Structure 1
Amino acid sequence: MDLLAGLEPPPPAREEIGPGAVLLRGWALPRVEDLLVTLAQVTAAAPFRRMMTPGGFEMSVAMTNCGPAGWVTDRSGYRYASQDPLTGLPWPPLPEIVRDLARVAAAEAGYAGFDPDACLINQYEPGARLTLHQDRDERDKGHPIVSLSLGLPATFQFGGLKRTDPVRRVALAHGDVVVWGGPSRLFHHGVLPLKDGVHPLLGARRINLTLRRAF
């Protein structure tokens, strides 16, 4: 007789990485296959592209969006836009599986009622990085941020309200979810250059989904 039959799996490891910031290790792993199918559909409609910063530099991370609000950058600045500048069409709808994962992860981290309208999808290849920055383009900073990692491991940097504050380095693996808000909502954060490697599902790349309430 199997004494474990019918028992629920143990909850994912939960780690506090800052005030109001929680890492849920492996939290998204049960839904990864469905997520990858959905992401393929989104990126077929709105392909990855390397955007230009206001200073005229091409970003090393390739990006796209889904949902009513899409984050974009070009020589005129950082902002949210309801249309894909490449096609002039609305961004693909925010898939229910992505919205639901973000809502439940936010609630698990203590932020019940989160309803994202923006999902920025970043694709990292070896060497790509994201410098320390704050997420300040959203109208209401009272909503948390939910960040989901897929593919190659990465080193997430989580600092403080000032760029010069000490920075914590957090190893992120396939299926990990980070949620931050409240006192850490405007903390600086980034990703160190991605190391070489091959992931069995995503090859030589990492995909990150960042969900926010923009409008």
Structure 2
Amino acid sequence: MSKHLDRGMTQLRSDLVKQFGIVEQMMSLSVRSLVERRSDLAVSVIDTDDEVDAKDIQIEEDCLKLLALHQPVAEDLRWLVTVVKINGDLERMADLACNIAERSISLDLFPLFRVPENVSKMVGTTIGMVRSALDSFLEHDADLARNVILADDEVDRLNVEMIQEIERRMREDPESVEPSLHCFSAIRHLERIADMATHVAEETVYLVSGDIVRHRRGEPES
């Protein structure tokens, strides 16, 4: 590996970690805005999205420059391609956090509506997945990545439970339909963030071991 390529990849790693820190904060604040009815936090999340978008473009451009100038091969090539994919996943997580924040602002019109208690548990599991997914990539830890993929089942289970609770509320109280739909949407966005973390983990497994594990959940390992 040339010194210039090495230096460029080190900078990309640093930029990716910084981007993750911003996106993680957006996720945390968006859910706090939902649970605590803090529209100020929701506005802060939405205002941060432009910063994430700008960083997303910069990281992708830097990856493409390294690919064009140094024509890396083997592991270095796979690493750069994976950075491009993970960078895109982080940007989509930020968009989903903004969507949750927007649903939170809409729910401000319904102060008596209670957000399901399991939202906090789902948030904890999801943010843990995102952290572990990034750690697995940075540390080339395929086992940690596989644990992230397995954790998605817990998020899916919580998602189903809360959707069932919201559907029950709508049947019992027609006046709760509108806020319930806002809450339903927020929970689905949170579940999608967990899916993005799973995708990062799947890409990491491929990077480290060469195994393509997408679309293979539930299948026995060979």
Taking structure 2 as the reference length, the TM-score comes to 0.25
Larger C-alpha radius of gyration, 1 or 2? Answer: 2
User: Larger helix proportion, structure 1 or 2?
Assistant: 2
| TM-score calculated relative to the size of structure 1 | 0.25
Name the one with the larger strand percent.
1
